[in-house]
């Protein structure tokens, strides 16, 4: 009697295990290893039921036949589990390779971020040195030129020159600070910031800006990431593409912010080195919002880029 109860308990537990295993087949993306393990558990359930059925039989021949079937099924279960374990081993190796690849990509992205930040620091240092440095030297020279022995007209000319140099220094500081952290982006949003950036470039290049939103505000991280992507793409076009026309289109649909960018430049061959440090950094940031950046180009046919980010994740 105790043995029979134990068999029923074992059957119930196997049924729960089989149901749970089957429910995980889809979650494991129909992995062959998990399908085999689920099949093995189902066969074990069948053998358990057959084993219980013999307890209510009085025909020795039928019991012997069922016992033979159970033995064969147990052998089949052993084979299924063996093959399943083989596939699990392959799956573990695959996951290990994926972890190694992920670690390699994270290191590459981290390196790209560090190099990009260092490049930006060098650029701002150059702007400060080449822009503000000479102006401050001129101001110092003009101030030291003041002399009470000089006529009022001469001193007034020096005052006027100092005022002009100070005004130029203020403008230079504003431009540098706008590049570091554009106040328009913080105060008025993405569209206004992109529009202001485009207006600064328009004297040297024809840039068309379109959008299905203007005053809509997005999370700070979303606006910052997309603004940096637009700036990076335009800067790359200016430096490398020899383009005369750029189209920037921003759209917001289904909680996703999308950028469609194109230029009529000389194009390039897409390869692993196409994504520069700046764009690789932007792609990493976009992926933090379940988005991505894709490039499309051919020599002589310009370049097209599509960036997308999910605004609900910030």
| Confidence band for 308, pLDDT divided at 50, 70 and 90 | very high
22-54 per-position pLDDT tens digit: 776 777 666 777 777 778 778 777 787 777 676
- Please give the Cα distance from 122 to 129 (Å, whole number): 10
Report, as an integer, the average pLDDT of 280-291.
76
Residue that the structure tokens 């537990």 belong to: 13
pTM metric for this prediction: 0.53
Q: In residues, how long is the chain?
A: 314
pLDDT at residue number 262: 94
Please choose, from the candidates 183, 184, 179, 257, the residue with its C-alpha nearest in 3D space to the C-alpha of residue 218.
257
């Amino acid at each position: 009697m105790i043995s029979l109860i134990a068999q029923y308990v074992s059957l119930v537990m196997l049924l729960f295990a089989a149901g749970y295993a089957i429910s995980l087949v889809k979650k494991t993306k129909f992995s062959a290893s998990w399908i085999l393990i689920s099949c093995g558990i189902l066969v074990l359930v069948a053998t358990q039921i057959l084993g219980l059925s013999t307890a209510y039989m009085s025909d020795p021949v039928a019991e012997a036949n069922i016992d033979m079937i159970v033995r064969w099924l147990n052998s089949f279960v052993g084979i299924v589990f063996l093959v399943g374990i083989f596939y699990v081993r392959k799956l573990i190796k695959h996951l290990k390779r994926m972890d190694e690849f992920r670690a390699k990509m994270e290191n590459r992205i981290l390196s790209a971020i560090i190099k990009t930040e260092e490049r930006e620091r060098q650029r701002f240092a150059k702007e400060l040195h080449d822009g503000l440095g000479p102006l401050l030297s001129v101001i110092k020279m003009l101030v030291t030129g003041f002399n009470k022995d000089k006529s009022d007209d001469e001193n007034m000319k020096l005052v006027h020159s100092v005022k002009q140099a100070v005004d130029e220094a203020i403008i230079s500081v504003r431009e540098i600070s706008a590049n570091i952290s554009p106040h328009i982006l913080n105060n008025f949003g993405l569209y206004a910031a992109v529009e202001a950036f485009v207006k600064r470039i328009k004297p040297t290049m024809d840039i068309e800006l379109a959008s299905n939103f203007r005053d809509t505000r997005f999370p700070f991280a979303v606006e910052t990431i997309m603004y940096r992507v637009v700036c990076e793409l335009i800067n790359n076009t200016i430096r490398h593409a020899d383009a005369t026309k750029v189209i920037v289109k921003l759209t917001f649909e289904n909680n996703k912010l999308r950028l469609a960018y194109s230029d009529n430049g000389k194009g390039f061959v897409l390869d692993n080195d196409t994504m520069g440090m700046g764009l690789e950094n932007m792609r990493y940031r976009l992926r933090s919002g379940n988005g991505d950046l894709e490039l499309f180009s051919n020599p002589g046919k310009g370049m097209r880029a599509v960036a997308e980010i999910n605004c609900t994740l910030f």
